[in-house]
Structure 1
Amino acid sequence: MRMNKLLATLILLLALAAPFAQAQLMPTEKLDGIVAVLDGDVILRSELERQVATVQAQYANNPQQLPPRAELERQVLDRLIMSKLQVARADETGIRIADSEIDQTLGQIAAQNRMDVDQLRQAITRQGMSWEQFRHNVHDESLIQKLRQRVVQSRVQVSDTEIELLLKNGGVQRGQLHLGHIQITLPDGASPEQIAAAQAKAEDVARQIRDGMDFAAAAIRYSDAQNALDGGDLGWRSYDELPPAFAEIAEKLQIGQSAPPVRGPNGFHIIKLIERREATSDLVTEYHARHILVRITEIVSAAQAEKTIRDLRARILAGEDFAKLAKEFSNDTGTANLGGDMGWFVKGAYGSKIAEMLTETKVGEISEPFLSDAGWHILEPLATRTEDKTAEAERDKARQTLGSRKAEEEYGNFLRQIRAEAYIEIRLPGAAGASGSGS
């Protein structure tokens, strides 16, 4: 699975913290001013400058991929506007992020960068970025993540009937695609002139790519999609997580090849196939085992529990019946009455210690006593088998596929809705849509 988007974004902020320092050291008179007004909030020139500097640092080794400065500012400003609108809507709907959640996320970011939180703070401040501002960024990204979850949960439902229909029609394709995407957006109710202009732009972009322009550079320069500044990279997705038209186009492409523009509901799209992963069967090793557990309680000390489990192991090795002793002494209420029988399960189902002992103990042997979070155990592996879980996996995949499709569509609709409802006045020189609601 791809790394959590929030962590990826924030780790990038850490790696690119130096540009923030440079922006903060610029003369104040260059940074003063408002570049956009939206509802009760504003975006300052200094904020835009910092974000532009971050993108420029990201492409420091390939600056030719970036569009002209004015176009880059427009794209970054659009991303800032959408971020602020989402944060504002999250606040309005009562979504809150506790300090403990921020601390937890900061700990994850630090761990991803092989440091502790104090080292992370020092790294941030050494490079000139305020720690308080970094925490604020974490807070806002967390709000947006929770807002998306709430919107998707309230609007997206997948029924068993939909799953059956998808499976019946052969709609679950196994394997994954890594795609690039460029979108030339059409406004709602676009006129014939607007459609013709968008199509001409899409065809010109496709021609430049055929003539040798890097696809990522073209996405940064021309795409209207939210991932434009990421070079149009959609990342790895299963066939069924993609719009069917995208998957159909990609299926006909060779790796590294891009397709001509195609018309979609919201504009024209150019797709590139970056990589492809073939499907594999879902073969799962399952274990059948039984165990006896003696819990550590206020009455039974750890030493007493260990002694009891060692005595029980000795009695079994001396010939007493495992199942009978499990019924009498095991504190695992779920298996004791079954003679300690745990049934068939995958290796990690009962935790890491039992998984470890399954590896170390042969079928028919009694394990050495071992301690887990639950208490002291002995374990007897009874059998192993390899099961083909492809059918179950396909059903789970169908549910995830339908959910992902609906989530992408519904959250896209939600973003368009909140933008249309907002008052946005853009004061960036040369930017289109100077004022008005949703402009």
Structure 2
Amino acid sequence: MIRTLRALLAAAVLAGSLNAFAQQPLDRIAAVVDEDIILQSELDRAVANIRGQYAGREAQLPPADVLQRQVLERLILIRLQAARAASTGMRISDEEVDTAVGNIARQNNLSVDQLRQQLAKDGLSFGDFRSSLRDEIVVQRLRQRFAQRISVSEPEIDAALAAQAGGNTQYRLAHILVGLPEGATAEQIATGQRKIEGIKGLLERGEMEFSAAAVRYSDSPNALEGGDLGWRALDQIPTSFAGTIRGMQTGQIIGPIRGPSGFQLIKLEETRNVGAGGDGQKVTQFQARHILIRVQEGDADAPAKAKLETLRARVVGGADFAQLATENSQDNISKARGGDLGWFAKDDFGPDFGAQVALLSDGQVSPPFKTQAGWHIVQRVGTREADVGTESRRNQVRESIGQRKLEDEWNRFLREMRGEAFIDIRVGAAPAASAG
């Protein structure tokens, strides 16, 4: 099966079934998570799925008890995120889940029935898959809402662009994390430091590969992926060690580094140069004003067109276009600015609108024309050749910095949520309960 479906199957098995307890009343409870539970059968399925992903590489997996703990922590976080999303009023309808299932099937060139058959072949019920997919959608929306808190300032963008001045190198990183709780005691910090130093010693002596050590020892959510952090530009790397990364050699390991989550070891796996990002990209931009008259479905076009013809005649006769736009336009955003749309490329407002603007001379007013938004007249104010490469780079850097900030804040949010929850783990060496 292709990668997309395999990834979804893995997520589905990790998420488990919310109805499993009703189906298996004698199933043991692996953990209590606030008012929810994780069943032993769910944990077993998730562990088996991870073992299947490591078929032929079983030696890289940690001991059975460590693997079980890592997988259980993932299940706990999934439960907590879904519960938090539900508490904010987020609900996913059956129709939305149906749409998501259909999209997944199409992406894999399957019908929904064929997808159902493939799930059964891989040992997952269709009900469990839908349930986990619902959780995945609601968690994504929770993260999107969380992202609204993130802001990136212009000085941050300027600093990142200055750091990129010598080129546009990306770095593929991996890490090992020894986590520390919020408000860690001196003893906990000392224990964590001894552990990370011990891991570093294993690596320096060549007794274990970095990825295998990450799987076995890391407390990071991506431990089972060998600690892989993927490709990152400098502005996507925490500033505390971005400068150090820039001077590293491929294969080099730095650390321990003390961060908000605990102690880390960082390895530079690869580097690549992705070019300068669009220098010299010129595009014609227009500045224009418009007056919009909306037409509801089923209404005749003639009244709107006639009104705009009258307004155009008044402009040609000397009336102020901006004043007429303020008084008559039904575009509530631009009317407050006298119909001003600012600077835009030809197709920014759709090909029909752009084609009309491109036909005008500066200062000229178009005849009435129709787009999906309604009927318009447009006055072209000016044109310019803009270097969109510069603006494009700033937007890319803004997005990169925002993603790094979101990742940092989201991980902090997950740690806080985990610390505040009542967690009663009933598997492993001994039952353990914690409450924030």
State if a TM-score over 0.5 links the two structures.
yes
| One-letter amino acid of the structure 1 residue matched with residue 62 of structure 2 | P
- 2:417 alignment partner in structure 1: 418
- Deviation readout 1:297-348 (Å, 9 max, x if unpaired): 877999x9xxx9xxxxxxxxxxxxxx99xx9xxxx9989xxxxx99964364
Q: C-alpha distance in 1, partners of 2:219/2:408? A: 16
Q: Cα–Cα, structure 1 residues 19 and 60, in superposed 2: closer, same or farther, change >3 Å?
A: farther
- 1:223 alignment partner in structure 2: 218
- 2:308 alignment partner in structure 1: none
Moved more, 132-141 or 79-88: 79-88
SS at match of 1:84: helix
- 1:36 alignment partner in structure 2: 31
Give the alignment of 1:222-241 within 5 angstroms: 222-241=217-236
- 1:141 alignment partner in structure 2: 136
Of 257, 261, 271, which residue of structure 1 is paired with 2:255? 261
- 2:267 alignment partner in structure 1: 271
- 2:100 alignment partner in structure 1: 105
- Conserved? CA contact 2:11–2:132, under 8 Å: no
Q: How big is the shift at 1:92?
A: 2.7
| One-letter amino acid of the structure 2 residue matched with residue 394 of structure 1 | R
Q: C-alpha distance in 2, partners of 1:51/1:195? A: 28
Q: Cα–Cα, structure 1 residues 195 and 374, in superposed 2: closer, same or farther, change >3 Å?
A: closer
Q: Cα–Cα, structure 1 residues 343 and 169, in superposed 2: closer, same or farther, change >3 Å?
A: closer
| One-letter amino acid of the structure 2 residue matched with residue 180 of structure 1 | A
SS at match of 2:253: coil
- Conserved? CA contact 1:203–1:260, under 8 Å: no
- Deviation readout 1:190-237 (Å, 9 max, x if unpaired): 4264144223233134326x5662x33322122111111222122233
SS at match of 1:260: strand
Q: Cα–Cα, structure 1 residues 70 and 347, in superposed 2: closer, same or farther, change >3 Å?
A: farther
- Deviation readout 1:71-93 (Å, 9 max, x if unpaired): 22121111111111222222233
Give the alignment of 1:65-76 within 5 angstroms: 65-76=60-71
- Unaligned 5+ segments in structure 1 are 1-7, 21-27, 309-322, 336-340, 365-369
Q: Cα–Cα, structure 1 residues 230 and 371, in superposed 2: closer, same or farther, change >3 Å?
A: farther
- Unaligned 5+ segments in structure 2 are 16-22, 306-314, 322-328, 335-339, 362-368, 377-381
- Conserved? CA contact 1:86–1:144, under 8 Å: yes
Q: Cα–Cα, structure 1 residues 134 and 375, in superposed 2: closer, same or farther, change >3 Å?
A: same
- Deviation readout 1:409-435 (Å, 9 max, x if unpaired): 3222222222222222222233xx741
| One-letter amino acid of the structure 2 residue matched with residue 218 of structure 1 | A
Structure 1 position 204 matched with structure 2 position 201:
yes
- 1:54 alignment partner in structure 2: 49
Q: Cα–Cα, structure 1 residues 438 and 257, in superposed 2: closer, same or farther, change >3 Å?
A: farther
Of 174, 177, 182, which residue of structure 1 is paired with 2:171? 177
- 2:7 alignment partner in structure 1: 12
SS at match of 2:433: coil
Q: C-alpha distance in 1, partners of 2:13/2:77? A: 25
- 1:88 alignment partner in structure 2: 83
- 1:251 alignment partner in structure 2: 246
Q: How big is the shift at 1:96?
A: 1.8
Q: How big is the shift at 1:40?
A: 2.3
- 2:284 alignment partner in structure 1: 286
RMSD of aligned residue pairs (Cα, Å): 5.1
Q: How big is the shift at 1:141?
A: 1.3
- 1:435 alignment partner in structure 2: 432
SS at match of 2:254: coil
- Conserved? CA contact 1:286–1:344, under 8 Å: no
Q: C-alpha distance in 1, partners of 2:14/2:82? A: 24
Q: Cα–Cα, structure 1 residues 390 and 43, in superposed 2: closer, same or farther, change >3 Å?
A: same
- Conserved? CA contact 2:424–2:431, under 8 Å: yes
- 1:158 alignment partner in structure 2: 151
| One-letter amino acid of the structure 1 residue matched with residue 144 of structure 2 | Q
Q: How big is the shift at 1:136?
A: 0.4
Q: C-alpha distance in 2, partners of 1:105/1:284? A: 39
Q: C-alpha distance in 1, partners of 2:408/2:13? A: 36
Q: Cα–Cα, structure 1 residues 45 and 212, in superposed 2: closer, same or farther, change >3 Å?
A: closer
Q: How big is the shift at 1:56?
A: 1.9
Aligned residues: 400
Q: How big is the shift at 1:284?
A: 4.8
- Conserved? CA contact 2:160–2:235, under 8 Å: no
Give the alignment of 1:231-380 within 5 angstroms: 231-254=226-249, 256-265=250-259, 266-276=262-272, 277-282=274-279, 283-286=281-284, 345-346=344-345, 348-351=347-350
Q: Cα–Cα, structure 1 residues 33 and 170, in superposed 2: closer, same or farther, change >3 Å?
A: closer
- Conserved? CA contact 1:250–1:273, under 8 Å: no
Q: How big is the shift at 1:134?
A: 0.6
- 1:3 alignment partner in structure 2: none
| One-letter amino acid of the structure 1 residue matched with residue 267 of structure 2 | I
- Calculate the TM-score normalised by the size of structure 2: 0.69
Q: C-alpha distance in 2, partners of 1:423/1:390? A: 50
Q: C-alpha distance in 2, partners of 1:423/1:238? A: 38
Q: How big is the shift at 1:50?
A: 0.9
SS at match of 1:253: coil
Q: Cα–Cα, structure 1 residues 98 and 55, in superposed 2: closer, same or farther, change >3 Å?
A: same
- Conserved? CA contact 2:293–2:330, under 8 Å: no
- 1:397 alignment partner in structure 2: 397
- Calculate the TM-score normalised by the size of structure 1: 0.69
Q: C-alpha distance in 2, partners of 1:17/1:84? A: 13
- Conserved? CA contact 2:33–2:421, under 8 Å: yes
- Conserved? CA contact 1:253–1:273, under 8 Å: no
Q: C-alpha distance in 1, partners of 2:10/2:234? A: 32
Q: Cα–Cα, structure 1 residues 289 and 150, in superposed 2: closer, same or farther, change >3 Å?
A: closer
| One-letter amino acid of the structure 1 residue matched with residue 52 of structure 2 | A
